[in-house]
């Protein structure tokens, strides 16, 4: 079946521009996660949604980062006034059930963001 | 911070079993051990997870020591496509869902 889909696959923006990254989770998956992966490092957690509710945003590095999932399916990660340190791969993952579950997370292939 | 320790790199010959160790000496009774791998330019791929019993699926086997302080992921017949970074992660059964990745082990399968 279809996996987690992310778009665009690559994004190049100039410093100061706003960007929006899209995630289409696996159909019916309740939980959705965003991670940031710097070059040569493991992914780092950004934020977590259960349906449309953003239950954990403790990993968002600054108030320039904003995520939403208004209808409980597609999610968008928005970065305002981008900085060079925002250059990274942004990964989205979804899992079938809510908290208190050992269901694995399934990842998309990410959006590689480059800030010039 | 990641709660696991893995060797930074390993090599294995094609066709042989690849045994990837992971130390998680501070694991608590309500934490699972998960393994993911990440092939170049792709997102992490779930492999297997376990609590205290050994587990096997079509991809790999997971051997967890009796004291649960360490585990080994076994790829029984490694192929060139198994070359990837392998992450061992401990995660609470309940509560926070996020995965905390460490540096992982870069496994290279040689022909």
Closest chain A residue by Cα to residue B35: A104
Q: Is the pLDDT of residue A9 over 90?
A: yes
Q: What is the pLDDT of residue A103?
A: 81
Mean pLDDT for A81-91 is: 97
* Distance to chain A for B105, nearest Cα, Å: 11
What the block records as the tokens of B30 is 């309500």
Mean pLDDT for A64-82 is: 97
DSSP3 helix / strand / coil % (chain A, rounded to 5): 5, 45, 50
Q: Give dist(CA B26, CA A40) in Å, integer.
A: 26
A91 φ/ψ angles, rounded to the nearest 5 degrees: -110, 140
Asked if the Cβ–Cβ distance from A4 to B94 is below 8 Å, we say no
Q: Is the pLDDT of residue B1 over 60?
A: no
Q: Is the pLDDT of residue A75 over 90?
A: yes
A65-68 and A75-79 beta bridge pairing: antiparallel
Q: Give dist(CA B84, CA B73) in Å, integer.
A: 13
Q: What is the pLDDT of residue B96?
A: 57
Query: pLDDT, tens digit, for every residue of B30-65?
Result: 889 999 999 999 999 999 999 998 999 999 999 999
B28 φ/ψ angles, rounded to the nearest 5 degrees: -105, 170
Mean pLDDT for A84-100 is: 88
* Distance to chain B for A54, nearest Cα, Å: 13
A10 φ/ψ angles, rounded to the nearest 5 degrees: -135, 145
Asked if A4 is an interface residue toward chain B (Cβ–Cβ < 8 A), one would say: yes
Q: Give dist(CA B42, CA A2) in Å, integer.
A: 15
Mean pLDDT for A46-64 is: 95
Q: Under a CB-based contact definition with an 8 Å cutoff, are residues A91 and A4 in contact?
A: no
Asked if the Cβ–Cβ distance from B46 to A48 is below 8 Å, we say no
DSSP 8-state symbol, A86: G
- The partner residue sitting opposite B43, judged by closest CB among A41, A59, A91, is A91
* Distance to chain B for A74, nearest Cα, Å: 18
Alpha carbon of B14 to those of A70, B17, B77, B80, B110: distances in Å?
47, 8, 7, 6, 6
Asked if the Cβ–Cβ distance from A100 to B96 is below 8 Å, we say no
Q: Provide CB contacts within 8 A for B94, sequence distance 6+.
A: A99, A100, B30
Q: What is the pLDDT of residue B97?
A: 74
Confidence grade of residue A6 (pLDDT, cut at 50, 70, 90) = very high
Q: What is the pLDDT of residue B56?
A: 97
Mean pLDDT estimate for chain A: 94
């Amino acid at each position: 079946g279809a996996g987690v889909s992310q778009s665009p696959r690559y994004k190049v923006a100039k410093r100061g521009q706003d960007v929006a990254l899209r995630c289409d989770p696996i159909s019916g998956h309740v939980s959705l996660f965003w991670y940031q992966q710097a070059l040569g490092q493991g992914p780092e957690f950004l934020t977590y949604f259960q349906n449309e509710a953003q239950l954990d945003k403790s990993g968002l590095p600054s108030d320039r980062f904003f995520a939403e999932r208004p209808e409980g399916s597609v999610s968008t990660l928005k970065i305002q006034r981008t900085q060079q340190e925002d250059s990274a791969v942004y990964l989205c993952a979804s899992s079938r059930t809510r908290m208190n579950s050992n269901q694995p997370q399934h990842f998309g292939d990410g959006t590689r963001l480059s800030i010039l | 911070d990641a709660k696991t320790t893995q060797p930074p790199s390993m090599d294995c010959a094609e066709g042989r079993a690849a045994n990837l160790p992971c130390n998680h000496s501070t694991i608590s009774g309500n934490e699972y051990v998960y393994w993911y791998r990440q092939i170049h330019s792709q997102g992490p791929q779930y492999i297997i997870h376990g609590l205290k019993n050994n587990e096997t699926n079509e991809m790999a086997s997971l051997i967890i020591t009796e004291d649960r302080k360490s585990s080994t992921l076994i790829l029984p017949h490694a192929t060139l496509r198994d070359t990837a970074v392998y992450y061992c992660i401990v995660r609470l059964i309940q509560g926070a869902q996020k995965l905390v990745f460490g540096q992982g082990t870069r496994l290279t399968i040689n022909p």
